[in-house]
Structure 1
Amino acid sequence: MSDLNSAAALLRSINGKLARRLRESAPPGDLTWPQVSVLGYLVRDGAMTVTELAAREAVRTQSMGATVASLQALGMVQGAVDPLDGRKTRYQPTDACLALIAANRAQRDDWLVESIATQLTPHEQQTLLAAIPLLQRLADH
């Protein structure tokens, strides 16, 4: 295995482990992971129909309909008639949802800041900061 192959495998493994640690640092509370995933799409990409969300998650429309209905019952999403096609409903996050997501992100950020501050030396912190643009470029490619 080449050095690049080894580095790629190690980076993938580390990324997965860090993602799990971040999820553990701010659990979703009463929400299921599928609900969290749907909210993520709506916050990042804007209002969507059940069909669009089902395609993103690669699940049946009926299954996604149940997930969206549960989020609506929790006050996390609200539906509005699609202005281009009145037969469709587009769902978007509510203010309560956006507040919950902001609090969850703040918890994860706090965990990461604390971990960087306590687990890395100042020199290592600078090395990590210098690597961020490179990781961003990989993520954006």
Structure 2
Amino acid sequence: MSDLNSAAATLRSVNGKLARRLRESAPPGDLTWPQVSVLGYLVRDGAMTVTELAGLEGVRSQSMGATVASLQAQGLVKGEADPLDGRKTRYLPTESCLTLIAANRAKRDDWLLQSMATTLNSAEQQILLAAIPLLQRIADQ
């Protein structure tokens, strides 16, 4: 069990370091990290209200309202009436936002591909490829 405890701690640490390196490989430009986080929710999970976003981020609705308003002013999100309750506004990403996110993801993918290709030999690349489904199972549980 001690080996598994050590592996868990090491994997957590490596995962954090890799996440930081990926963020550094494609900085958010003029966006703040809270704005990036909100866009991530909207792209992954679909349209949401300010209250729903605030709950996910653990901030007050007023604070989230300011974040969403700034994204709307930049043309990255748009509001539409909630189909179940027209008094509520649900926000979703614009085409401009989706293009920006796709470009950012491509930069991170390119950095990771280049790092894997230049740092790992062919046998190590095969080991990494074999480990991906295992990591996916852990992440999906």
Indicate the TM-score class for this superposition, using the shorter chain for normalisation.
over 0.9
Tell me the residue number matched to 2:140.
Answer: 140
* Distance (whole Å) between structure 1 residues aligned to residue 56 and residue 9 of structure 2: 26
Residue of structure 2 equivalent to 1:19: 19
Q: For residue 98 of structure 1, what is the aligned residue in structure 2?
A: 98
Tell me which residue corresponds to 2:35. Answer: 35
The count of corresponding residues between Structure 1 and Structure 2 is 141
Counterparts of 1:45-84 in structure 2, within 5 Å, are 45-84=45-84
CA distance in 2, matches of 1:131, 1:108: 20
1:1-51 deviation line (CA, Å, top 9, x unaligned): 811110000000000000000000000000000000000000000000000
* Structure 1 alignment gaps of length 5 or more: none
Q: Distance in 2 between matches of 1:130 and 1:82?
A: 44
The code of the aligned residue for 2:14 comes to I
Q: Percent identity?
A: 82
- Report the residue type matching 1:81 in the other structure: A
> Partners in 1 of 2:36 and 2:30 — Cα distance?
10
CA distance in 1, matches of 2:130, 2:2: 24
1:83 positional shift: 1.1
- In the aligned structure 2, how far is the partner of 1:21 from the partner of 1:8? 20
Moved over 6 A (4+): none
RMSD after superposition: 0.7
Structure 2 CA distance, aligned partners of 1:87 and 1:16? 41
Normalising by structure 1, we get a TM-score of 0.99
Instruction: Compute the displacement of 1:64 (Å).
Output: 0.2
Q: Which residue pairs with 2:115 in the alignment?
A: 115
Which one-letter code corresponds to 2:53 in the other structure? Answer: L
Distance 1:83 1:60 in 2: 24
Aligned-partner SS, 2:87: coil
Paired residue type of 2:115: S
What SS does structure 1 have at the residue aligned with 2:90? strand
- Does the residue aligned with 1:62 lie in a helix, a strand or coil? helix
Q: Structure 2: 5+ residue runs without aligned partners? A: none
